[in-house]
Structure 1
Amino acid sequence: MTELVRIFLVLVCAVFLYLNFKITGIIVVLLILTVLFYIVTKEKNIIYVILFFIFYIYLNFVTYNGNISGEKKLYVKFDGKTGTVLRIENRYTDKKIFLNNTGYSYGYYRLIYKIQHVKEKNGIFTINGKIKGIKEGKLNFVRNFMLLKLENIFDGEYDIGVFAKAAVLGEKGSIDEDFNKMFKNTGLSHLIVISGLHIGLIIMVFLKIFDNTIHSYRIKYIFTWIFLTIYCLVVGFSVSVLRTYITGSIMIASKIFFEEKDSRKSFFISLIITMTILPYSLFDISFQLSYGAVGSILFVYPVFERLYTAKCRVKDNLADYILKTALLSLVIQIMTFPVFLYNFQTMPVFSFMCNVVGIPVGTLLIQLVFMTLLLNISGVEIFNKILLLIIKFIFNAFETIIYFLDKIPLLQINAGFETHWVIIMLYYAVITAGIWFLKYYETKL
């Protein structure tokens, strides 16, 4: 575990050093060198220095450093409203870049693009130009096939269809702006982003299917991993998808090779692989929220749960479940609070309470949508009317819950000011000290 933490810190230091002049200047450089010195000298191991320089060279190699002008080869994701530029000349970009071209169906494309004008605002670059050549991603036809199935299933039920496309394929371009805002305000946005919930559901579904068709234990998990990989390729390896895919793959590998599963090790392995594949995801909000939430569950919540168990003895199982869910949501909110404050200038206050009601209902809804889609892909459409009635009932209930929760005062407060990164660091220093104190207090109980 310690080795994995040090490797991850080395990678983070390399990224910060690579970008230091663009972000925070000499203070960060000194901080990085201090941390790096600690990592290196603790065991006098030169391997961390070597790894640091290798990764630093790797960053130079995989990063596009040319001008955003002229005719370029771009790898783009069209999400319904914007064209997110993922790579230029097959190299990653350390900037947020979007194409001002719309009208393309959701999916991934390789373009030959003539850049005519670039507009920059708040560090976000929007480029205008002409597409001179376009090639669809190889798996777009699979995604389009699934989209067509969802449209046929929910024909005449526009709102449910839009939710289904977002929850199953990550296509959020058609979600109403007000409805999307309510999801964010109530802290339930993760239900319409492909995340651990969705990947876990995929694994569970295919394991159940193969339980009745494949007798070999290992073959069953290998086929599950293959279908999981195909699904993730179809929806695209965003940061949240990549994280959960790596974690799910590690879990499946542990089952195949009869190894004991270690969630904390899986967490850091996932961090390291994500940082290697997508080095600039470190500054991506989805990276910060995704890993922040999972890290809170693995490393912080157990401390509070043990204290809760020691101090509160609730006999009613339902009440105990509700209290633990609320506690878990509160811990995640405390740990991810600076991400919202720094990026959105908002302060979540009571939004953690929404998860107690919203997650169970939303999870059930997503499970039913997945099951209906899989049945239709398999050619079993006989249950569509019954399933549609059930989904419609639950969706209406879910929609009502979202509207009701959004009306609760003080879910989030608009801060109205920008927060310096030093304040964020001090916040986490205080939180870390508080957790250490709770662990010390726990030993005294």
Structure 2
Amino acid sequence: MNVIYMISLEITFILLNLYLLPKNIAIFISVLTIILLTIFNNKNKIFIAIIPILFLIRSVYTIDFSNHLIGNTVTLNMQLYKEKGLIKEINGKFPTSISYTYITNLQNGLYNITGTIKNKAIKYNNTYYTLDIDNIKEIQENTLKLYFKNKANSLLKNSNFQLKKIYYAVVLGENQYLNKQLKDIFSYIGISHLMALSGFHIGLIILIVNFIISKFSLTKRKKNILLLLFITCYYMGITHSPSLTRAYIMGVIYLLGNILYENTTLPKSLCIAYIISLFFNPTYIQNISFKLSYIAVFIISYIYPIIKSMLNSKNKILHSFIFIITIQIFLLPVTLNEFGTIQILGFISNLIAVPIGSIFITISFIGLLLENIYLGFVVYPLIKISYLIFIKTINILNKIPLMTLKINNGFKSSLFYILYIGILCFLAFYMERKKEKITHEKIYKRTHIHQ
């Protein structure tokens, strides 16, 4: 097995141990497993041993496994929006579940809050803390974030509030501005992924910037270096999410491969992004955005190419339909587990609303670029028109019955993912072997006929 895949499995196993078992037992089993895999592996032993050990150490010291915080004085790093604070860190450590607290009389922004925890409640699988506040310190956003926000505000100064909210979500990653009604509509018609910055958006930026710099007489290597610098500046200037971090890392790997004249493959890039993302924040593995993002790209990388190879047709519309259906079918167990929903007619919105939404997002990115030279007003009318068409489309689709069927509130079982990922990996392996067998048979027949 390739060393990258082996390390990915080891890291996943370590996190499962830490979440499902007592801490000391989890550490012992993880170390024992790493030692055994290192001993019985024939090559790349140093990577198979060192990287998982470093990850284990980082996870132990950066994840907050405390279950008895009531009465303790803590420092919370949090992002506040409309008096609801999303807790990013507790005493410098990542919380094991999505956690919130409520703070009144403060503006939206980032804060360090020191106080004593009075109460803890679990609602919808999230943790809510009640706090006696001792000290509040505002955290200033970085210069790039402020710069992009100012440019977006300048571009949209004459627009309505809903356009600003959607623009902030699809261009700056600020999806907290979307109200619940709008989020429910996107979820019902099956295009929530369009509102979350991910590989689609990073790829779009690379295409737009590449088109612009292609007008200059630059070598391919210099173009890729400029693209790398641009997407890095963009990434540093917007709100991060697990799906965006994955897309950024994969984009960096792709561009570095071009710069260094190295071949990169989508599956290996996905595994490297998975490892780096979890090093950055080990608790991402509990995040639904992280799960959906990586599983969807896994399906695109491993499952869909095999299904595509079995199709005899070259019809692009058919391939688009099969692509959407493949992702929907294989993500169905995840949406059932997390949300208790089944997308029945979601492929319709993906064939109609996604292309229209893509046009709106593309023009929105171009508008932000032009606003840097004070020419955003040139494309603002197009932003407004494409937005109105997009909103009209999703409102029509929202009236269609059975786009998404709600069954229950979801099971949210961690053990489910062990079985699901295992089946998915086995299926990918089995289908790949079957594809190789068919290819070998075709080659044999051709050789036999030629002889």
- TM tier, smaller: 0.7 to 0.9
Unaligned runs of 5+ residues in structure 1 are 314-319
Measured after TM superposition, the shift of residue 277 of structure 1 is 1.2
Partner of 2:434: 440
Partner of 2:118: 117
Partner of 1:166: 169
Contact 1:329–1:353 (8 Å) recurs in 2? no
Letter in 1 for 2:64: Y
Paired with 1:30 and 1:337, the residues of 2 have a C-alpha distance of: 35
* Equivalent position SS for 2:64: coil
Contact 1:338–1:424 (8 Å) recurs in 2? no
Contact 1:75–1:86 (8 Å) recurs in 2? yes
Closer/same/farther in 2, CA of residues 256 and 105 from structure 1, 3 Å limit: farther
* Equivalent position SS for 2:176: coil
Paired with 1:258 and 1:80, the residues of 2 have a C-alpha distance of: 48
Letter in 2 for 1:340: T
Letter in 1 for 2:341: T
The one-character-per-residue Cα deviations of 1:133-166 (angstroms, maximum 9, x if unpaired) are 3232341x54344334333433242222221111
Measured after TM superposition, the shift of residue 12 of structure 1 is 0.8
Letter in 2 for 1:147: K
Paired with 1:102 and 1:224, the residues of 2 have a C-alpha distance of: 42
Closer/same/farther in 2, CA of residues 89 and 408 from structure 1, 3 Å limit: same
Unaligned runs of 5+ residues in structure 2 are 443-451
The one-character-per-residue Cα deviations of 1:17-39 (angstroms, maximum 9, x if unpaired) are 1121379xx9x999989987995
Which of 140, 143, 146 pairs up with 2:145?
143
Contact 1:326–1:353 (8 Å) recurs in 2? no
The one-character-per-residue Cα deviations of 1:155-214 (angstroms, maximum 9, x if unpaired) are 242222221111111122332322211111122111111111221222233334444457
- 1:253-264 aligned at under 5 Å gives the runs 253-264=256-267
Partner of 1:365: 360
* Equivalent position SS for 1:379: coil
Could you say what the CA RMSD is over the residues aligned between the two structures, in angstroms? 3.3
The one-character-per-residue Cα deviations of 1:100-135 (angstroms, maximum 9, x if unpaired) are 12665655x341421343332144222333362323
* Equivalent position SS for 1:287: helix
Contact 2:97–2:286 (8 Å) recurs in 1? no
Closer/same/farther in 2, CA of residues 116 and 405 from structure 1, 3 Å limit: same
The one-character-per-residue Cα deviations of 1:340-366 (angstroms, maximum 9, x if unpaired) are 111111122221332111221111100
Paired with 2:89 and 2:420, the residues of 1 have a C-alpha distance of: 35
Contact 2:165–2:177 (8 Å) recurs in 1? yes
* Equivalent position SS for 1:173: helix
Letter in 2 for 1:373: L
Measured after TM superposition, the shift of residue 427 of structure 1 is 5.4
Paired with 1:335 and 1:182, the residues of 2 have a C-alpha distance of: 22
Contact 1:72–1:89 (8 Å) recurs in 2? yes
Closer/same/farther in 2, CA of residues 225 and 417 from structure 1, 3 Å limit: closer
Closer/same/farther in 2, CA of residues 38 and 412 from structure 1, 3 Å limit: farther
Partner of 1:92: 94
Partner of 2:383: 391
Partner of 1:298: 301
Paired with 1:423 and 1:208, the residues of 2 have a C-alpha distance of: 44
The one-character-per-residue Cα deviations of 1:46-67 (angstroms, maximum 9, x if unpaired) are 6545654443232212223455
Residues 1:341 and 2:343 aligned together: no
Partner of 1:13: 13
Contact 1:11–1:55 (8 Å) recurs in 2? yes
Paired with 1:61 and 1:159, the residues of 2 have a C-alpha distance of: 42
The one-character-per-residue Cα deviations of 1:364-389 (angstroms, maximum 9, x if unpaired) are 10010111122112222451xxx333
Contact 2:78–2:87 (8 Å) recurs in 1? yes
* Equivalent position SS for 1:55: helix
Letter in 1 for 2:63: T
Closer/same/farther in 2, CA of residues 103 and 96 from structure 1, 3 Å limit: same
Letter in 2 for 1:391: I
After TM superposition, the score normalised by the length of structure 1 is: 0.84
Paired with 1:417 and 1:169, the residues of 2 have a C-alpha distance of: 30
Contact 1:199–1:244 (8 Å) recurs in 2? yes
Paired with 2:14 and 2:422, the residues of 1 have a C-alpha distance of: 22
The one-character-per-residue Cα deviations of 1:193-249 (angstroms, maximum 9, x if unpaired) are 111122122223333444445735444433332232222122233211110110111
Closer/same/farther in 2, CA of residues 163 and 73 from structure 1, 3 Å limit: same
Contact 1:195–1:240 (8 Å) recurs in 2? yes
Contact 2:84–2:100 (8 Å) recurs in 1? yes
Contact 1:111–1:131 (8 Å) recurs in 2? no
Could you list the runs of 4 or more consecutive aligned residues of structure 1 that deviate by over 6 angstroms after TM superposition?
28-38
* Equivalent position SS for 1:235: coil
- 1:151-230 aligned at under 5 Å gives the runs 151-154=153-156, 155-212=158-215, 215=218, 217-230=220-233
Paired with 2:268 and 2:83, the residues of 1 have a C-alpha distance of: 38
Deviates more, 1:185-194 or 1:221-230: 221-230
Partner of 1:329: 324
* Equivalent position SS for 1:408: coil
Measured after TM superposition, the shift of residue 272 of structure 1 is 0.8
Paired with 1:245 and 1:409, the residues of 2 have a C-alpha distance of: 36
After TM superposition, the score normalised by the length of structure 2 is: 0.83
Partner of 1:317: none
